[in-house]
Structure 1
Amino acid sequence: MGMREWACAQLPLSRKELFFAGVTFAAYFFAAKLGLYLYYAFETSPALIWPPVGIALAAVLLGGHKMWLPILLAQHLALISHFTGVHTISLVIASAYALQAVAALYLLRRFGFDMAMTSARSAMTFVGVVIAATVIEPAIATAWQLYSGTLGVSPLVNLGRAWGGGVFSALIVAPLVLVWYRGWRTALAEIAARRAELALAFATLAGVVYAVFWTPHTRVLGATVIFMLPAALLWFVLRFNPRLLALAVFVSAVGGIAGTIITLPGAGSLSAQLLNVQVYIGLIAALFIVFAAVEEERRQGFRKLRELYAQASAADRAKSEFIAILAHELRNPLAPIVSSLDLLRMQPQTAESAEAIHRAEQHTIMIRRLLDGLLDTARLSQGKFVLRKELVRLQDIVDQSVASVEDYVRTRRHTLRVIQPEEPVMLYADAVRVKQILINLLTNACKYTPPCGYVELYAEARDGHVLIRVSDTGEGISSAARPRLYTPFSQVHEAPERGTGLGIGLFLTKRLVEMHNGKIQADSDGPGQGSTFSVYLPLSMEGARRYREDAPAPAAAQPEAVAGGSR
């Protein structure tokens, strides 16, 4: 083992930690010397520009509690190299600063602080801990000076200026170091990608800092200068990441302090002006730390939502494609079955075989409707569904729909009553799809109504629309079932004895109605009280004109049929 390896092995720090401790020591020492120079050269009291507090907080957050040692040594060396005969008070103050940094580290970890500060909770935790923890060193130093009789100002002044300087430093310097230490590559990539906008943003910020801190004007172009800095920083919050905002706040703080010291604007002493600048920029920094975290949280949530939406869309497309392929493949073997049944029906049959063929035909019709429904669902999901609209007569669609369900109504031993106007009612619609709407509603009404029930189909022209209403005396709809009434592949009622189906009938019905610029409404007094589905479809221009002409004496809705064996 060489001498260097032996020396490193005796230290409580690893090589990486030793390097980081050296950087911390150098940064803290030079920042302390700068603070001492500004304080005594320009007599800034009660304002205290003390950047070491922010450096110490960032150091313990990045390097851990072991960084207390370089903080203590750098603070002690800065004081004893500036003053003479202050070794004791220097050690007390240095120890207090080290304790303050470690205490802040403990509190931040205790409350689950995230150094990226991309959540509102972490940002507010940081601001709260900074305000609470930075009082430690001022309290200890003030108490020791009171005890030793070396305090030359009021205890409140001594405590207040050190506390204010610590809060200001921690809010300005620590976030800058934290966010740039771990994300500087990302920030540089964004700078390269958006250098034109970023240059314009920083040029605007420089102009605002000049107007606010380097000139005596209180208004520029009719605007109060005090509101210009928040407006400029808002650009960084909304358009860039938190790293660039932290840099913009730091630039504002440096520019504000430099402008106040160099130009000595306005009435009053330099110290009072610097104190105002500290309070002003400190408040802005605290607000924008939280604001930036909220905005970043929103961005991350939006990105996550967009990713989830893309995944859901991909899954939905895959499902739709699978359904379309499945329905198409199942329809192929269905065609020869239908042809075979047609051939069998042409042959002489006994009563029993004729009934068997009829039942087989009914089942093939049901299977074909299910497959057609699956294909329609897939086309709707893929945006490939197209209506073929034309001028059609409502009464023809109603008659054809009733004829399609007559056998099912008779099988269920229901009474079906059809009421529609005698005068022709014209629609500009896809006749096949409107018929599909009526068949779906009538089939559902029959399916979920106990045998020997009552189903009514009512149609009329009303207020420029056609009202089609299907009512039944069936199972009704519970309030809990309403939210999923039109959800595809969802069953409102469990009906194993009738066959549960695919749960796509009402979904297709609603989509078809909406594609006709209409609306559908479901009403029910609850389970066991039956249900009513009302469909509103717009009349064609000709149908609307006829309706307006006939409005004073509308044609009476005429009961057409009772189907429970007869129509």
Structure 2
Amino acid sequence: MATPYILSPEELTKLLAAPSPAAKSADNGLSAPFLNQLATAGRELLSKLMTEQHYLPGQVIFKEGDLGDAMYIIWSGRAAVVKGDFQAPTILGYRGAGDIVGEMALLENQPRSASIVALEELRTLKVIRKDFEAMLNNNPALGLNILSTLSARLRAADDARKDSIRFESQLIKEVSTLKTEKQQMLELEQLRQDTIDLIVHDLRHPISSLFGAIKIMEMVLPEEVLQANQQLLNIANLNCQHLQLMVDSLLDAARIEAGEAQLKLSITDLAKLISEAVTRASISADMENITIQPVIREPLPAINIDAEKIDRVLSNLLNNAVKFTPVGGAVMITAEVQQDKLLINVTDSGPGIPPEDRERIFDRFAQLSSNQPRMGGFGLGLAFCRLAIEAHGGRIWVEPGNDGVGSHFKFTLPLKQ
């Protein structure tokens, strides 16, 4: 085993004094889905897959140019992502508890693109590629899910980089030709982009860190401690998911409205997507003694959709239904084929939507005119739902519930895209 490289006091001083990146480089919420998939492997398998590692300040976890053979999950502490020589380092970003570094080593045997250096005492969980490959061979279904999540993580990071480059190029081009009135519009567009950046950098990363920390706790805490605190962990997981859902909805709504978002279409089993969304929503429903009943009376044909966005539509509608349904009530979701489209209907047993609000609830931050105590705003969830469904060529609307009780939130998706 090679002796780990440790920065000299001079190199560590230069690293700590190096300028921080202009944009807060962080994991941006991309670690959470991977950790979620990894956690499903089970504690016994994870104990064989991961080994605990400790690093002192200035110790290099891996160096730029080294062949990658392992990935690291940061348990505690803080590290810097460094490019170039340690005598004149360039800091690309920072990583902390719940973040992942070196994940490309699980996919390919290529040189590392940057160095990772501990800035304080660092505790990690190391996953070696050969052990990871053995796990994939023994658990092909889990392996496929993890590889898919890693692939999505890398695509999301690349999309964010492309968005930033494209927007910057657009600004440079337009600044040279715009007159005063158009410059004002450009400033408004810049404000919109700054808001999106705020979401991506200042909200997504702490949410991801929280979620990652929870998942690491579930992996490493003694079984009896986990069982004694399962309800608290469920609440923490649920609220992290809700926060992530709101952030993603705001981000995607802004991109769709600006014409910057493209649908990532794939043939999808909608019945399975509905089942997964119901499972997630049932955690909060159970706390209020609310039942969620999926009803699909006939096999649904596979449909070409952006599965991630439609999954988020389903989650938003189910979460709203639970939110506005009284304790002990019921929520139902149905799906059926209607000629050349699929019709999905989410029904709650809440107080209903007043007629004058049934159109504008799909606007951003719409507030209902009802004075009922549990009624309030729908935030960005329904605005995102409308944009996502219309981007698919479908339609979304709300109707009063049976006998005036509750609401039917319905949307359609064309069977052919």
TM-score, normalising length from structure 2? 0.51
Instruction: Provide the residue aligned with 1:322 in structure 2.
Output: 195
Instruction: Provide the residue aligned with 2:257 in structure 1.
Output: 381
Please tell me whether the aligned partners of residues 457 and 468 of structure 1 are also in contact (alpha carbons under 8 angstroms): yes
Question: 1:98-497 to 2 correspondence within 5 Å?
Answer: 315=188, 318-345=191-218, 346-348=220-222, 349=225, 351-492=227-368
- 1:537 match: secondary structure: strand
Q: Give the letter aligned to residue 346 of structure 2.
A: V
Please tell me whether the aligned partners of residues 245 and 312 of structure 2 are also in contact (alpha carbons under 8 angstroms): no
Following the alignment from structure 2 to structure 1, what is the Cα–Cα distance between the partners of residues 238 and 358?
31
Following the alignment from structure 1 to structure 2, what is the Cα–Cα distance between the partners of residues 401 and 462?
22
Following the alignment from structure 2 to structure 1, what is the Cα–Cα distance between the partners of residues 233 and 270?
33
> Over residues 334-384 of structure 1, what are the superposed CA-to-partner deviations in whole Å (9 max), with x where a residue is unaligned?
333222222222212165534333322222222211211221122123221
Please tell me whether the aligned partners of residues 285 and 291 of structure 2 are also in contact (alpha carbons under 8 angstroms): yes
Following the alignment from structure 1 to structure 2, what is the Cα–Cα distance between the partners of residues 324 and 442?
28
Following the alignment from structure 1 to structure 2, what is the Cα–Cα distance between the partners of residues 483 and 424?
29
Instruction: Provide the residue aligned with 1:504 in structure 2.
Output: 380
> Over residues 125-180 of structure 1, what are the superposed CA-to-partner deviations in whole Å (9 max), with x where a residue is unaligned?
xxxxxxxxxxxxxxxxxxxxxxxxxxxxxxxxxxxxxxxxxxxxxxxxxxxxxxxx
Please tell me whether the aligned partners of residues 449 and 473 of structure 1 are also in contact (alpha carbons under 8 angstroms): yes
Q: Which has the larger radius of gyration?
A: 1
Please tell me whether the aligned partners of residues 334 and 364 of structure 1 are also in contact (alpha carbons under 8 angstroms): yes
Following the alignment from structure 1 to structure 2, what is the Cα–Cα distance between the partners of residues 498 and 520?
24
RMSD between aligned alpha carbons? 3.2
Question: 1:1-20 to 2 correspondence within 5 Å?
Answer: none
Q: Give the letter aligned to residue 384 of structure 1.
A: E
Q: CA deviation at 1:317?
A: 5.3
Change in 2 beyond 3 A, CA 1:415/1:462:
same
Structure 2 unaligned blocks of 5 or more: 1-179
Change in 2 beyond 3 A, CA 1:494/1:480:
closer
Instruction: Provide the residue aligned with 1:90 in structure 2.
Output: none
Please tell me whether the aligned partners of residues 324 and 375 of structure 1 are also in contact (alpha carbons under 8 angstroms): no
Q: Give the letter aligned to residue 262 of structure 2.
A: V
Following the alignment from structure 2 to structure 1, what is the Cα–Cα distance between the partners of residues 373 and 208?
28
2:395 to 502, 519, 529: 519
Change in 2 beyond 3 A, CA 1:523/1:502:
closer
Following the alignment from structure 2 to structure 1, what is the Cα–Cα distance between the partners of residues 382 and 263?
18
Q: CA deviation at 1:315?
A: 3.2
Change in 2 beyond 3 A, CA 1:313/1:515:
farther
Following the alignment from structure 1 to structure 2, what is the Cα–Cα distance between the partners of residues 449 and 437?
18
Q: Give the letter aligned to residue 416 of structure 2.
A: S
Following the alignment from structure 2 to structure 1, what is the Cα–Cα distance between the partners of residues 227 and 375?
27
Instruction: Provide the residue aligned with 1:19 in structure 2.
Output: none
Instruction: Provide the residue aligned with 2:28 in structure 1.
Output: none
Please tell me whether the aligned partners of residues 428 and 539 of structure 1 are also in contact (alpha carbons under 8 angstroms): yes
Change in 2 beyond 3 A, CA 1:358/1:419:
closer
Structure 1 unaligned blocks of 5 or more: 1-306, 542-567
Following the alignment from structure 1 to structure 2, what is the Cα–Cα distance between the partners of residues 409 and 535?
22
Change in 2 beyond 3 A, CA 1:309/1:416:
farther
Following the alignment from structure 2 to structure 1, what is the Cα–Cα distance between the partners of residues 306 and 244?
20
- 1:480 match: secondary structure: helix
Change in 2 beyond 3 A, CA 1:361/1:498:
farther
Following the alignment from structure 1 to structure 2, what is the Cα–Cα distance between the partners of residues 467 and 324?
35
> Over residues 490-523 of structure 1, what are the superposed CA-to-partner deviations in whole Å (9 max), with x where a residue is unaligned?
2227899879676111111011110110111211
Change in 2 beyond 3 A, CA 1:460/1:323:
same
Q: CA deviation at 1:450?
A: 1.0
Q: Give the letter aligned to residue 339 of structure 2.
A: D
**Which protein is richer in helix relative to its size?**
1
Change in 2 beyond 3 A, CA 1:329/1:530:
same
Change in 2 beyond 3 A, CA 1:347/1:494:
farther
Please tell me whether the aligned partners of residues 400 and 407 of structure 2 are also in contact (alpha carbons under 8 angstroms): yes
Q: Give the letter aligned to residue 347 of structure 1.
A: L
- 1:485 match: secondary structure: helix
Following the alignment from structure 2 to structure 1, what is the Cα–Cα distance between the partners of residues 339 and 244?
37
**Which protein is richer in strand relative to its size?**
2
Please tell me whether the aligned partners of residues 300 and 336 of structure 2 are also in contact (alpha carbons under 8 angstroms): no
- 2:409 match: secondary structure: strand
Change in 2 beyond 3 A, CA 1:400/1:353:
closer
Following the alignment from structure 2 to structure 1, what is the Cα–Cα distance between the partners of residues 277 and 413?
16
TM-score, normalising length from structure 1? 0.38
Q: Give the letter aligned to residue 214 of structure 2.
A: L
Instruction: Provide the residue aligned with 1:241 in structure 2.
Output: none
- 2:410 match: secondary structure: strand
Please tell me whether the aligned partners of residues 440 and 506 of structure 1 are also in contact (alpha carbons under 8 angstroms): yes
Higher normalized contact order (CA 8 Å, seq sep 6+, divided by chain length): 2
Q: CA deviation at 1:453?
A: 1.1
Q: Give the letter aligned to residue 524 of structure 1.
A: P
Change in 2 beyond 3 A, CA 1:392/1:493:
farther
> Over residues 213-258 of structure 1, what are the superposed CA-to-partner deviations in whole Å (9 max), with x where a residue is unaligned?
xxxxxxxxxxxxxxxxxxxxxxxxxxxxxxxxxxxxxxxxxxxxxx
Change in 2 beyond 3 A, CA 1:310/1:439:
farther
Change in 2 beyond 3 A, CA 1:374/1:480:
same
Please tell me whether the aligned partners of residues 368 and 377 of structure 2 are also in contact (alpha carbons under 8 angstroms): no
